[in-house]
Homo-oligomer: A and B are copies of this chain.
Amino acid sequence: MSEKAIYLDHAATSLPKPESVITAVTEGLRHAGNGSRGAYEAANWSGERLFRARLAFSRAFAVGDPSRVIFTHNASESLNLSLFGAIPPGARVLAEVSAHNSILRPLHALAKQRGIQVDFVLPRKDGRFFIEDFAAALQPDTRFFVFSHASNLSGNLNDLAAFGNFAHEHGLFFIVDAAQTAGLVPIDLQAMHIDCLCITGHKSLLGPQGTGLLCLGPGVELEPLKYGGTGSHSHSADMPEDYPDHLEAGTLNTPGICGLAAGLAEIQSQGMEQLFTRGLALAKMFYEGLREIPGIEFYGDYAETSARVPIVTLNLPRMDAARAADLLSTEWQIACRSGIHCAPRMHDFFGSSDRGSLRFSFAASNTEEEIEKAIQAVKILANLEE
């Protein structure tokens, strides 16, 4: 990324990565043997780093047991592992329309392969979800609940503790997509009654692309998504029963996980709440700078009292989102994202399926000067014809 670029696509991947993350990955590349597949220095180095990372994430998300922190390739893999690993044929699943394609496509495949039924709950005004609508959608045989902590389109942040209580009260197996929130907003797996917490490493956790986590609640058992070598119980044709080995086949991305652990440490040293508050303030500054533009359309609930993540999604009155994103990139070096953002049902709800939208997402590493430049650029585009 060039020095002058203004990066406002943190919801797709965080940039720049902290120097401590880059250093940790480099250290991993220099030192990591194949963890748990040998007893010498380099293999032990990996084994120890992996364990320390599990312990750190277990504490960060109140998992309670580091062996129930599973390392994955990305949040999509965490979600696939949860959905395919937990949901049996014919089951009934409660879902909602802000779901990313990493939920929608597995559910669709499960409907075809296992005949599951999915009930999708719609939000109300401004894309806000209400628990009573989920309660109304419950069927006698509903056993699974897949829920997004925050929408990557609207930026609305849901009250996960309340939805967790709802899931618990109704005996629902609770799968949470925290791709937009892990590292940004506190998540307490046990207190929130979460069975599968699906996390990406390369967004708000500030880690490298190619890392993800799946944190499992106490007693949760999943069928593996992948089978293979674990360096343990090698005589058995089945995957080992103990976690994390049960769900981790093949060599892990140890250098990436070293970087991911460094990302968490960075957040903890800077203070997650401070980082979150600053990101939100920059998003709000951006929104306030644009809200009065005639004809501009925002997606999401921007009311003063509403819980949000630092995402602002909009459409301009007279310019296509893709064209606007191109111009912002070429003329101002502003990186934002146009399109469907892999959230087709939420776009359907907003009536923006044909147009897509222009999404700006912020982080504490952005500056007020950058936000000001972005506001001015969008204002100019708002006055242009296509």
Contact = CB atoms under 8 A, between A and B. Distances in A.
Among A26, A39, A224: residue with most chain B CB under 10 A: A39
A63 interface: no
A209 interface: yes
Contact of A333 (B22, B28, B31, B41): B41
Nearest to A104: B237
Contact of A9 (B21, B43, B234): B43
A370 B44 CA distance: 21
Contact of A344 (B29, B100, B234): B234
A228 B336 CA distance: 21
A135 interface: no
A185 interface: no
Contact of A40 (B28, B37, B231, B329): B329
Nearest to A42: B1
A7 to B, nearest CB: 7
Nearest to A250: B76
Contacts of A106: 226-228
Contact of A102 (B1, B75, B229, B337): B229
Interface stretch (A10-18, A121-129, A187-195, A372-380): A10-18
Identical chains in the assembly: 2
Given A229-B342, A342-B229, A73 B250 contact: yes
A296 interface: no
A252 B210 contact: yes
Given A74-B250, A210-B255, A235-B353, A229 B41 contact: no
A129 to B, nearest CB: 21
A230 B102 CA distance: 9
B249 A40 contact: no
Contact of A30 (B22, B231, B337): B22
Contacts of A266: none
A290 interface: no
B340 A41 contact: no
Given A39-B325, A42-B7, A210-B256, A74 B338 contact: no
Given A73-B77, A101-B229, A208-B256, 17 more contacts: A9-B33, A12-B43, A25-B255, A38-B325, A74-B251, A75-B250, A76-B226, A80-B249, A105-B249, A208-B253, A210-B211, A210-B252, A225-B226, A230-B342, A231-B339, A231-B342, A256-B256
